[in-house]
Amino acid sequence: MQLFITVLACVLAAANAESSVCCSYGDSRVVMAQWDAVFTASNGGKVTTGYALFSRLFELAPGAKDLFSRVNVGDMRSPQFSAQMVRVMTGLDLALNALADQPLLESLTGHMAAQHAARPGVTVDGFRMMEQSIMEIMPQLIDNFNPDAWSNCLHGVIDGISNGLS
């Protein structure tokens, strides 16, 4: 039944969008398993991954640092920035682990979208840069990285979190 609902949701999404990607049940399982291996790694997975993702984001979009000035981004190892990075990574963890539960995922990403809409300067383009950062860093951290599954699933998460931004 879950597979039928996922396929139906993909068909409906494709019918309603010019360029649609669909996170299938199989894709979601791959992404959740691969993410879990990275996020829970004994070498400080969430912190190590967070530093890698944010470092790449700031290489791609140096101006993005301005959005984190209140959390001491000038020193990415500071307690303030580390705490912010862990909050972001935890939000990403929640969203990725909800991929197989569409109502939960929509609730989570809707809540995150509202939080980001209240922050001046946060844009859809900024989230696209974070998506690019994730897609570039994850293959370095994940054995047998599945770029199709990640692209299909991550794009929907990013769309949900950036919903309502310009």
The residues, ordered by sequence, that sit 6+ positions from 90 with a Cβ below 8 Å of its Cβ are 46
Output the CATH code of domain 27-161.
1.10.490.10
Known binding-site residues equal: 116
The token duo for 19 is 């360029």
The residue ranking higher by pLDDT, 13 or 22, is 22
Residue 10: per-residue pLDDT: 46
The answer to whether 46 and 39 have CB atoms below 8 angstroms apart is yes
Q: Is the pTM above the cut of 0.75?
A: yes
Tens of pLDDT along 150-165?
999 999 999 999 988 7
pLDDT tens column, 18-72:
334 689 999 999 999 999 988 876 556 788 899 999 999 999 999 999 999 999 9
Distance of CA 28 to the CA centre of its chain: 13
Binding annotation for heme b: 116
> For residues 14 and 34, what is the distance between their CA atoms, to the nearest angstrom?
26
